[in-house]
Amino acid sequence: MDGGERVEASSGWGVLHLFYAVDRPAAEADPGAAERVLDAVTAFTADGEHQVVMFSVLGHKADLGVMALGPDLARLQALQQALAVAPLRPTWSYVSLTEASEYTTTEGDERARLAAEEGVADPAEVDARLDAWSERMTHYRENRLHPRLPAKRTICFYPMSKRRAGDDNWYALSFADRKHLMAGHARVGRGYAGRVVQLITGSTGIDDWEWGVTLLADDPAALKEIVYEMRFDEVSARYAEFGPFVTGLVHRPAEALRRVGLTA
C-alpha cells in the first residue's frame, strides 16, 4: 500500500483505532467488499513494519474494530481511505502515537533503590546489576515505542485524561510527586504481566483525550480485573477521567469480517 510521501514522527509510531458499523444492504449488494478489505489489510502489512489487529465488537457501539499501527502516518491514512470504500459506516475513531513514559525509572533511581531496598554496596555488584537493569529498560522502551502485538483473544480500548480541577489537578503536582504516584500505578500493571498486554499511547494535541489505552488478553476477565484494581490506585481514583470503553473478540481479518457479515 502506497500512502504517498512518508510522514513519520520523530519518536514513536502512529496508532489508529477505527470502528465501523456494517451497512447490511450495501454489503449484500457488494459481494466483493470483503475481498477488497482483505486486500487493503494485506497491502498495509506487506512491508513488515505495519500491523493490524481486527476484532468483532461486543455491544452496539460498533460491529467491527480495526487497530492499525506503524511508523508511516500516510500509510495509516491510506488504509483508512481504502476501508472507506467498503460497506462500512464509521462510528468512531481515535488517533495516537506510541510513546515512552516520562516517568520511567532512571539509572540514578535504580542505583538508589539498590542501596536503600537491597543493601547493595559493592561497586562491582552495583555495576553488574545496573547492566542487567539497563538491558531490561532498553527492551521495555523498545516495546513501548515499537510494539509487536502478540495474538490474544480479546481486546479493550478506551481513552483517558488526567484531571486538572481544584485539588485534583494532576498538572499542579510536582514532577517528583507525579513520578512517585506513577511508580505505584505501574506496580499494579506489572502484576498482570503474562495475562494482559498493555499499550499506552499518547494523544495530547492529536485527539480529544490525552492517552489511548489498548488492553489485550486471552481471558476477558483479566481486562475487567486490571481496570478494576487500577481504579483503587490514587492515580486513577483521584486524577483520572475515562472515555468510552470498546471491547471485542480478536480474529484473523477474514474471520473478523465473516463475524460481522462480510464474507470473502
Helix and strand totals (H; E) in the chain: 9, 9
Grid coordinates given for 122: 559493592
What gap in Å lies between CA 210 and CA 28, rounded to an integer?
39
Does the annotation mark 20 as catalytic? no
The answer to whether 1 and 73 have CB atoms below 8 angstroms apart is no
Q: String of b and e for 216-235 (b: at least 16 CB within 10 Å)? A: bbeeeebbebbbeebeebeb
What gap in Å lies between CA 131 and CA 129, rounded to an integer?
5
Backbone angles phi, psi at 69, to 5 degrees: -150, 155
**Catalytic member of 94, 158, 192, 239:** 158
What gap in Å lies between CA 71 and CA 6, rounded to an integer?
9
Secondary structure class of 47 (helix, strand, coil): coil
54 beta partners: 66, 251
The answer to whether 102 and 162 have CB atoms below 8 angstroms apart is no
Catalogue the active-site residues: 158
